[in-house]
Structure 1
Amino acid sequence: MIPVSGPYTVSEVGAGDPLTKSFQRMIAIPPQEGWGPEETIRGLQAAMAAYPDDPTILPQYLTAEALAKWSPAGPVTVIEDGFEVVPQTPRDTTGAVEKLQVKAQVVASIKEDDSYAPTAGSWDRPFDLVKVQGSGYRVKSLPTGLVLTNSDVMRAYRPTNLYYMSGNSQKQLVVDRVRLRLKPTESFAQTILERLLKPQTAALEGGAVTSSFPPGTKIESIRWSGEERVVINLSGPIDANDLSTEDSLRAQVRYSLSKNEVAKGRVIEMQLDGEPYFIDRPESDEGWLDDSGDSAYYVSKGAVHYMGKDGPAGVVPGPAGQPRDGYSNYTLSKEGTATSFVAATTSTGISVAKLAPEGQWQEVIQGTGLTPPTWHQDGSLWTYDTKNGFLLRYDPATGRGPERVSAPKLQGLDVTRLRIARDGVRVAVTTGKNTVQIGALTHDVSGTMLGNFQSLTTTETGKEILDVAWADDEHLLVLVGIKAGQILSQINVGDGETVGIPLEDQLTRLAAAGGRVLGEFSTDQGVKVMELNQDRQSWTAKIEQGAGTPLFPLG
């Protein structure tokens, strides 16, 4: 029996099924004759939450005129749960029209590309309701789009990581964070893969990433075969003889499912038009994600040192391992190659040295207004020339450069830091003292460009961003100084989800990779290097004194 007091939820159960996730589905009910204006508005909002599963209820809350003009298209507005419905005065004394104001705090918007954008502020909307004899109230007009509460989103949507191929020559996987609605008519595995067939979100458009699925690819079926095997049948213009496509397609499917706790640990059998295509086993790992290495380093008296499990472990070969004055902002290129380099800022520019006995320090970019250098997966070195407004790239392999890279959205901004993520696509940029933006390196016939900027976080006046570091390909560590001390946060660059990390002393510099976080701390006893423990709540000293500037490759 459906209660007449309002909407209710039904649990969708998928116990034991590795392809789906259990969730609660909103069941809305039509407006009731005995409801007042406020109950009608709350019923309307519940009908919005249920609309994708049952679009027949919401139209019953609208007059014919309102229904003719309304559309569910556009971003979904997410508001806090405790919204107010406030009667407006003076009221219509005839009782023919009731004017209400809905007041709430906005939480986010879910855009049409399924990206989740946190926001803040008030959300106030007027509503006019008319009384229909024997049927209760109806809404005279309704703005386009759906309005859901935060609880609606938590109940029906899941944060989901999709994986595409990087648009550069490195061909790594790049994560694209979306919010996907759970559907009672299909498994979550199918929801994920159906979305993976569509274009990436706006944050990664413009050639920043590509897909191994050619246009026209369809998912014919997904089934769970036995205890350990998932069978996916595709159709469409996939070349079964193209091994490179097979490898990258395999990676996109494996990571998009397993990283969302779907089909994790199971064999994935892929079919093409019902015929065997390939089999992917869960233990296979071909380095599609960050493979830069997680060996830790630090700097003491200008010399770069290895860090062992419990402390110092020696110096790097060549001049980079020798004491040196006047160098700062050290950064390391990709580890494990024959051409691994260290870069550092000097008073006249940026110099690099090969990590080899025969290596020599050489100034490769001149200037006094350069941001700290950052390495790309392809071996190139990047910086932003704040005096001239140029994004610069230098390639040690060729010795050419520095060359300018187009970054029109940075023109006129006070760029203070620029850090390329290990996926070789995303770029964190701080401007002034208070703002962090996330951009992407895009590619087209005209070349490479830094664009697609979206705001990640902005601090209040009186607070200052002191340092940023990529924790992994989807999280940025942001250190903020405040009057009372410091705040260290880990922010998901895809949806803004933020987790605080406690600090014990004054943190001056960050480095992170492979789940590890190192910090340079300033104490009464001097500068030391500490590592964040696995509990993410405490730190352990690694180098007690005489050391700073912790480093990871590409960090």
Structure 2
Amino acid sequence: MTTTRRRGRSRRLGAVIVIAVAVVCAGSGCTVIPVTGPITLNEAGSGDPLSKPFHRMIAFPPDKTWNEEQTIRGLQAAMAAYADDPTVLPRYLTQEARAKWSASGPVTVVDDAYEVVPPTDREETGPVAKITVKGRWVARIKEDDSYAPTAGPWEDSFELVKAEGGGYLVNRLPNGLLLTNSDVTRAYRATNLYYLNGNSPNTLVVDRVRLRLKPTETYAQTILQRLLKSPTSALQGAVTTSFPADTKVESIRSGEDRVVINLSGPLDTLDLSAEDSLRAQIRYSLNKNEIAKGRVIEIQVNGESYSIDRPDSDDDWLDATSDAAYYISKGAVHYMSKDGPAGSVPGPAGQEREGFHGFALSKDGGYVAAQTSTGISVAALTQSGRWQEVIQGTLTAPTWHRDGSLWTYDQTNAALLRYDPLSGKGPQRISAPKLTGLDVTRLRIARDGVRVAVTTGQNTVQIGALTGGAAGMMLGNFQALTSTEEGNKILDVAWEDDEHLLVLVEGQAGQVLNEINVGDGEIVGVPLKEPLASVAAVNDRVLAETKAKKDKTSQIMELSQDRQTWNPKIESGASTPLFPLG
């Protein structure tokens, strides 16, 4: 798979004639037809689709000459076609199975090369012995459209009976759809939806889903229809929306340089803040998926103009954290320019000091925090600033929230702590019931101020979310992101942007640096030149500290824009590269 953010291709297609191509799947009762979906043409007749091309699966009913394996494979093809044509699949089922089976529930995704094991115990009449289907599990697409990668062997069983006139019917079928990885690649698209930050409504938070493309509507319609629904379980209680309940998408039309979206529902046309946020949700949900990019988006309510979004509109809805880089030398915080060292920061934080480690910078670079043997200390990056211990105990390395608060986990008392430097009060305890009893070793808040990466032990990463708002904030919604094999160790994690986490792992075979999309688990490996001690990132900039060797000290390296090579930035005496937040 490829990440749209950096490696995707923009699709701008003209008018497409739908051509049926008969590709018969031998023995499995299916044919594949390329479909682009409805296309809206402007008055001049030139095409400007708001959709993505895909192939539609057309399934055949069971044939009386088929054996058990052919019947099962035909059934699976009918499942792949079920969303577009639900009439074929029931023809594979007995009356009893039709009465019990439901397509609802998570979609099981398996590798294409699944195996149908023939029965070993046949009967002349009545049910045939169980048919076992085996394969490798790829993922599960949940009912909220979230995509959860899985691994390991998959197995399920089906019961067939002989049909009148020949062939077989399925007498027992597990609920839900079974799709192959190719089915999902063909008919689904990884899609970024944008909701409002529950604690900071003037910023957006991305929610990644897998949406099934439909021949009856454009991809733009599919995106906006899903945007009107609740976010996935990963962000429930952490984000909100500007769309009132009962809002509907009436139509979407496109022209040479304009997309017109007509909504209906209880929208307050006089609420300017709601207009701004609704426009932002639509803009990013379309443009970040390469739909309508570079064109004016006109939003109408009941056919009347409501809001205009222009391509050159101010882009302040996503976090614009500075990419100013810092590093540590002998316990002192230093600036780093594009070319290398640029001097130490003002005040005590820029002075050499022993016993400080685990440094972290606040959003605007105004404060630095560090671990000591007794707790966490904070200093302002000013001439008058001074180091002050603000939290005591056995703690994880500090991490800053975009609101200016400092967070850590008290490993002795199993408590998540939040400290506000401006409050003048001690640390506040934040509810995190799912962390109770776990060996929490790291805590990293994403720059969106919502998602939180937590490592437990030496080899597991989970992603949670801050929910409940200021009045009842808690850390929950945990989902597993990645685990390493026993004997391996996670050396560092760093947020690259609001979607991607860098995870540095070391094992007997060496080190691996992976960029993982926290929304769907998509992994892109980053090649390494030499062993690393730590990483830091913001957007497309990635810095790393190399491991010190006997013949030389550690140095700071920067990953090239093509993500293939590492270039030295500071040759020696430098450690712990830093960016604000993350």
Report the TM-score when normalising by structure 2. 0.92
Q: Which amino acid letter does the alignment assign opposite residue 275 of structure 1?
A: E
Structure 2 CA distance, aligned partners of 1:502 and 1:42? 40
User: 1:98, CA displacement in angstroms?
Assistant: 5.2
1:332 and 2:358 matched? no
Asked if the contact 1:116/1:179 (under 8 Å) is kept, the reply is yes
1:549 — aligned with what? 576
1:394 and 2:419 matched? yes
2:32 — aligned with what? 9
1:459 — aligned with what? 484
2:283 — aligned with what? 254
2:3 — aligned with what? none
Asked if the contact 1:31/1:135 (under 8 Å) is kept, the reply is no
Asked if the contact 1:170/1:377 (under 8 Å) is kept, the reply is no
Q: Which amino acid letter does the alignment assign opposite residue 249 of structure 2?
A: I
Asked if the contact 2:142/2:148 (under 8 Å) is kept, the reply is yes
Q: Which amino acid letter does the alignment assign opposite residue 81 of structure 1?
A: D
Out of 499, 502, 505, the position equivalent to 2:530 is 505
Q: Deviations over 1:452-484 (max 9, x none)?
A: 000001111111111100011011100111012
Q: Which amino acid letter does the alignment assign opposite residue 218 of structure 1?
A: K
Report the TM-score when normalising by structure 1. 0.96
User: 1:94, CA displacement in angstroms?
Assistant: 4.6
User: 1:446, CA displacement in angstroms?
Assistant: 5.5
Q: Which amino acid letter does the alignment assign opposite residue 397 of structure 1?
A: L
1:485 — aligned with what? 510
1:534 — aligned with what? 561
Q: Which amino acid letter does the alignment assign opposite residue 364 of structure 2?
A: E
1:354 — aligned with what? 380
Structure 2 CA distance, aligned partners of 1:94 and 1:200? 50
Structure 1 CA distance, aligned partners of 2:246 and 2:175? 31
2:198 — aligned with what? 167
Structure 1 CA distance, aligned partners of 2:257 and 2:397? 49
SS in 1 for 2:554: strand
Asked if the contact 2:327/2:576 (under 8 Å) is kept, the reply is yes
Structure 1 CA distance, aligned partners of 2:25 and 2:182? 21
Structure 2 CA distance, aligned partners of 1:521 and 1:19? 46
Q: Deviations over 1:158-217 (max 9, x none)?
A: 0000000111036321110100000000000010000000000000112x0000111111
User: 1:136, CA displacement in angstroms?
Assistant: 2.4
1:74 and 2:105 matched? yes
Out of 297, 301, 306, the position equivalent to 1:277 is 306
1:376 and 2:395 matched? no
Query: How many equivalent residue pairs?
Result: 549
Q: Which amino acid letter does the alignment assign opposite residue 30 of structure 2?
A: P
Within 5 Å, give how 1:199-210 maps onto structure 2. 199-206=230-237, 208-210=238-240
1:47 — aligned with what? 78
1:148 — aligned with what? 179
Q: Which amino acid letter does the alignment assign opposite residue 357 of structure 1?
A: Q
1:305 — aligned with what? 334
Structure 1 CA distance, aligned partners of 2:446 and 2:469? 20
Structure 2 CA distance, aligned partners of 1:349 and 1:95? 72
Q: Which amino acid letter does the alignment assign opposite residue 569 of structure 2?
A: K
Q: Which amino acid letter does the alignment assign opposite residue 247 of structure 1?
A: D
SS in 2 for 1:124: strand
Structure 2 CA distance, aligned partners of 1:182 and 1:520? 44
Q: Which amino acid letter does the alignment assign opposite residue 233 of structure 2?
A: A
Asked if the contact 1:427/1:438 (under 8 Å) is kept, the reply is yes
Asked if the contact 2:119/2:128 (under 8 Å) is kept, the reply is no
The 1:444/1:523 distance shift into structure 2, 3 A limit, reads closer
The 1:527/1:63 distance shift into structure 2, 3 A limit, reads same
Asked if the contact 1:170/1:378 (under 8 Å) is kept, the reply is no
Q: Which amino acid letter does the alignment assign opposite residue 213 of structure 1?
A: F
1:216 — aligned with what? 246
Within 5 Å, give how 1:400-415 maps onto structure 2. 400-415=425-440
SS in 2 for 1:251: helix
SS in 2 for 1:73: coil
Structure 1 CA distance, aligned partners of 2:201 and 2:374? 32
Asked if the contact 1:37/1:98 (under 8 Å) is kept, the reply is no
Asked if the contact 1:13/1:23 (under 8 Å) is kept, the reply is yes
Asked if the contact 1:467/1:478 (under 8 Å) is kept, the reply is yes
The 1:387/1:523 distance shift into structure 2, 3 A limit, reads closer
Name the stretch that deviates more: 166-175 or 398-407.
Answer: 166-175
Q: Deviations over 1:320-375 (max 9, x none)?
A: 11211211111100127xxx1011111111111111121111111111x1000000
Structure 2 CA distance, aligned partners of 1:394 and 1:534? 36
User: 1:511, CA displacement in angstroms?
Assistant: 0.5
User: 1:89, CA displacement in angstroms?
Assistant: 1.3
The 1:139/1:384 distance shift into structure 2, 3 A limit, reads same
1:441 — aligned with what? 466
Name the stretch that deviates more: 540-549 or 86-95.
Answer: 86-95
SS in 2 for 1:47: helix
Asked if the contact 1:75/1:145 (under 8 Å) is kept, the reply is yes
Unmatched 5+ residue regions in structure 2? 1-19, 40-46
SS in 2 for 1:97: coil
Asked if the contact 2:36/2:215 (under 8 Å) is kept, the reply is no
The 1:77/1:351 distance shift into structure 2, 3 A limit, reads same
Asked if the contact 1:405/1:449 (under 8 Å) is kept, the reply is yes
Asked if the contact 1:51/1:58 (under 8 Å) is kept, the reply is yes
Q: Percent identity?
A: 68
Out of 491, 496, 507, the position equivalent to 1:471 is 496
Q: Which amino acid letter does the alignment assign opposite residue 349 of structure 1?
A: G
1:289 — aligned with what? 318
Q: Deviations over 1:517-551 (max 9, x none)?
A: 10000243211000111111110000111111100
Q: Which amino acid letter does the alignment assign opposite residue 223 of structure 1?
A: R
1:321 and 2:346 matched? no
Structure 1 CA distance, aligned partners of 2:520 and 2:241? 21
Name the stretch that deviates more: 163-172 or 25-34.
Answer: 163-172
Q: Which amino acid letter does the alignment assign opposite residue 521 of structure 2?
A: G
User: 1:80, CA displacement in angstroms?
Assistant: 0.6
Structure 2 CA distance, aligned partners of 1:285 and 1:445? 28
User: 1:445, CA displacement in angstroms?
Assistant: 8.4
Q: Deviations over 1:381-440 (max 9, x none)?
A: 000000001100000122222010000111111000000000000000000011100000
User: 1:252, CA displacement in angstroms?
Assistant: 0.6
Unmatched 5+ residue regions in structure 1? none
